[in-house]
Amino acid sequence: MHNIPIKPTVGMAGRFKIEAIRPDGSKRVLADWFDNLILDAGLERLGTASALGTCAVGTSSVAVNAAQTSLQVLAASTTTQQAKVYGTQATAPYYAWNRTTYRFPLTTAIVTGSITDTTLTVSAVSSGTIKVGAVLTGTGISANTTVTTFGSGSGGIGTYTVSPSQTVSSTSITSTYATAAGTLAEVGVGWGATTMFSRALILAGGSAASVTGSIKSKTLTVTAVTSGSVVVGSVVTGTGVTANTVVTELGTGTGGTGTYIVSTSQTVASTALTCTVAGAEAPITVLGDEILDVTYELRLYPPTSDVLGTVVLDGVTYYTILRAAYVTDNSMWGHDRIGGLAFLIGTSAAYGGSYAYPDTIGEITSYPSGVISGSGSKSRVPYSANSKTAEGSFTWGVNNGNLSGGIGAILWRVYGGNDYSYSLEAYQVGFYEADYTTPLKIPKDNTKTLTLSFSVTWARKTL
């Protein structure tokens, strides 16, 4: 076996958005996009098993630190995934993303009861359980009637205190309770209610606008608005925009198309821009009749610089260039199964994992060219605790990899997903003379076996 002695590092970052859905179907944004901290336990989990699948909310405002493993005060959790979309960023900075919306649903109880002043008397229960904070509806019941405390009842037959005061004769009553109702200050995602991949304190009051615009000197000209409003204090980001560019004054624009004054003089051609105002750490309140949707976006950032190395085969030194591949292809980076995130190389999945090519490597958005030959077998190296490194090997036996003129490049992938058979990352390595320019092909034929081992590391990405 021959090791390719260079390891690419994939960067990881995530963010949350929180919305409440009212009974009439309308939405209210409780917290627009805000960043999370991927925890040490979450990074460690990636080497062995799926790290995502559960979302949790809690009530603690204790500061986030990487050593934490769970929310500090758990209020509710869910595994219900309401929606999932995924893709890749088509221009630099390149990254793959997966956006999963976790839903905290409503629960209902159907009972027979009457109300005198502030006392609800339940005489029969058809289904479900009454909870404090539940909203009551039924013939003659005042709008926004809420269960405030238990009396002799604790979910079933008995008495309860409600607000406001009213008189309602015996009737069928529906009790609706939000599983995440109340005041919330923290949120996280992970592989269980108490095993978090990431945690964040909720930032309420933030906003983001997606626009098309250009910058000349200190004038930002917005020509189209996809969503949101541009406001003073917005941080402008996008291809070619100088870091920490801030909207300081309104020009002809008042939130939409028009001009704005920015803090830093620069020239940026028309492009997609994001204008973000950070929220402040503050609890949010979910009402008793509201569905809570938490959307988590996870990003994988491929390395964008070549990594140089060497490998010796049959006494010959090959100078290697390792480069990310297919970074804008969401079947290679950030597949939808990123929701079952884990990093594995050389898995036993039925899908291939590595291919030999006769020609040199391609650009970061492409791959090697020429007729390919898949590896005949693959093997995964067990994860080494705390290494944040996945390792595996691929073997081209006597019947594989026998390309005319030799092997000029290899394409290999990192797998994940719920069944570990979906590509999450793709890399290419080319073989050269000492100048790292002149190809030096591996003379593989049907009398030789070639085994190459690869590895990848992962770490938090600072945005």
Q: What is the pLDDT of residue 231?
A: 86
352 and 438 part of one domain: yes
Q: Mean pLDDT, consecutive 10-residue segments, the chain of 463 residues?
A: 72 94 90 92 89 94 95 96 89 89 95 97 96 92 94 96 97 94 94 96 82 96 90 88 91 94 95 83 87 94 93 93 93 62 56 81 94 82 90 88 94 69 83 97 94 90 77
> Are the CB atoms for 333 and 308 separated by under 8 Å?
no
Q: Please indicate, yes or no, if residue 98 is contained in any of the structural domains.
A: no
In 3-state terms, what secondary structure has residue 83? strand
Which residues, including other chains, have CB under 8 Å from residue 295's CB and lie 6 or more apart?
Answer: 16, 17, 18, 19, 83, 99, 100, 101, 102
Q: What is the pLDDT of residue 244?
A: 86
**Residue 361's CB: how many other CB atoms inside 10 A?**
27
> Are the CB atoms for 8 and 458 separated by under 8 Å?
no
370 and 432 part of one domain: yes
Q: Please indicate, yes or no, if residue 40 is contained in any of the structural domains.
A: no
> Are the CB atoms for 325 and 387 separated by under 8 Å?
no
Q: How far is 29 from 207, CA to CA, in rounded Å?
A: 9
Q: How far is 120 from 147, CA to CA, in rounded Å?
A: 8
Q: What is the pLDDT of residue 351?
A: 45
Residue 164, preceding bond cis, omega within 30 degrees? yes
367 and 430 part of one domain: yes
For every residue of 419-442, DSSP letters joined together read TS-EEEEEEEEEEE-TTSSSB--B
> Where a domain ends, among 259, 277, 295?
277
Judge residue 279's burial from the number of C-beta atoms within 10 Å of its C-beta, 0-12 exposed, 13-18 middle, 19 or more buried.
Answer: middle
Q: Please indicate, yes or no, if residue 314 is contained in any of the structural domains.
A: yes
Q: How far is 283 from 185, CA to CA, in rounded Å?
A: 4
308 and 456 part of one domain: yes
Q: Where are the beta strands (DSSP E) in 68-201?
A: 74-78, 81-88, 96-104, 106-127, 135-137, 145-150, 158-178, 182-184, 186-192, 195-201
342 and 266 part of one domain: no
319 and 235 part of one domain: no
354 and 442 part of one domain: yes
Q: Are strands 54-58 and 74-78 parallel, antiparallel or unpaired?
A: antiparallel
In 3-state terms, what secondary structure has residue 41? helix
Q: Please indicate, yes or no, if residue 294 is contained in any of the structural domains.
A: no
127 and 233 part of one domain: no
Tokens of 73: 């005060």
Q: What is the pLDDT of residue 288?
A: 83
Q: How far is 312 from 329, CA to CA, in rounded Å?
A: 32
Q: What is the pLDDT of residue 189?
A: 97
Instruction: For residue 134, give the amino acid letter.
Output: A
The total number of structural domains that make up the chain: 3
Tokens of 459: 């770490």
Q: Please indicate, yes or no, if residue 432 is contained in any of the structural domains.
A: yes
Which residues, including other chains, have CB under 8 Å from residue 127's CB and lie 6 or more apart?
Answer: 108, 109, 110
246 and 385 part of one domain: no
∠ CA 147-149-151, nearest 5°, is: 110
Q: Tell me the residue range of the domain where 435 lies.
A: 2-7+303-460
Tokens of 42: 């979450």
**Residue 250's CB: how many other CB atoms inside 10 A?**
15
307 and 434 part of one domain: yes
Q: Please indicate, yes or no, if residue 283 is contained in any of the structural domains.
A: no
247 and 159 part of one domain: no
414 and 326 part of one domain: yes
- Round the CA-based radius of gyration of the chain to a whole number and report it: 28
Residue 8, preceding bond cis, omega within 30 degrees? no
Q: What is the pLDDT of residue 2?
A: 62
Q: What is the pLDDT of residue 330?
A: 84
Q: What is the pLDDT of residue 347?
A: 52
> Are the CB atoms for 160 and 113 separated by under 8 Å?
no
> Where a domain ends, among 155, 177, 199?
177
Q: Please indicate, yes or no, if residue 284 is contained in any of the structural domains.
A: no
Q: Please indicate, yes or no, if residue 88 is contained in any of the structural domains.
A: no
